[in-house]
Structure formats: C-alpha cells, structure tokens
Amino acid sequence: MENVNKIRQNQIKLQNRYKQLIEQAYNLRETDCALSDISEFKAIKLLNKLNRLKYLNREPAKQRLL
C-alpha cells in the first residue's frame, strides 16, 4: 500500500510539472520557437513517465479483483 501512495504522489508531482512545461511552451511559441520546442519535448517525456506510472498504479487494483 505504501508503494501505491508513493506512485500517486509521484504522479501528482509529474502532472504539475507537465502542466507547467506545456504552459511555458505555449507562452514561448510566439517569441522563441527553440525554447518552446524544448519545453514541449520535456513535457512529452514527462507524459510518457506519467503513462508508465498510470500502468503501475493500475496493476494492484487488477490483482485485487482476482
């Protein structure tokens, strides 16, 4: 159960960081395309991590049903 809480906390932290990076990329889009692309790339990498954590968080619930 402790691991599930750690995963959830990490998810929340990564979601907040993801939102910040997407907002930063959007704000920089008109002024500096290169920085906007870098922020967007970092956000995509974070989104991949979030998807992996979502998968890990899904597994214990599935096992409880069995």
pLDDT, tens only, 15-65: 999 999 999 999 999 999 999 999 999 999 999 999 988 887 776 555 555
Q: Are 14 and 49 in contact (CB under 8 A)?
A: yes
- What pTM did the predictor assign? 0.78
Rg (CA), the chain: 15
Q: What is the mean pLDDT of residues 2-10?
A: 83
Return the domain boundaries, the chain. 2-65
Integer Cα distance of 13 and 11 in angstroms? 5
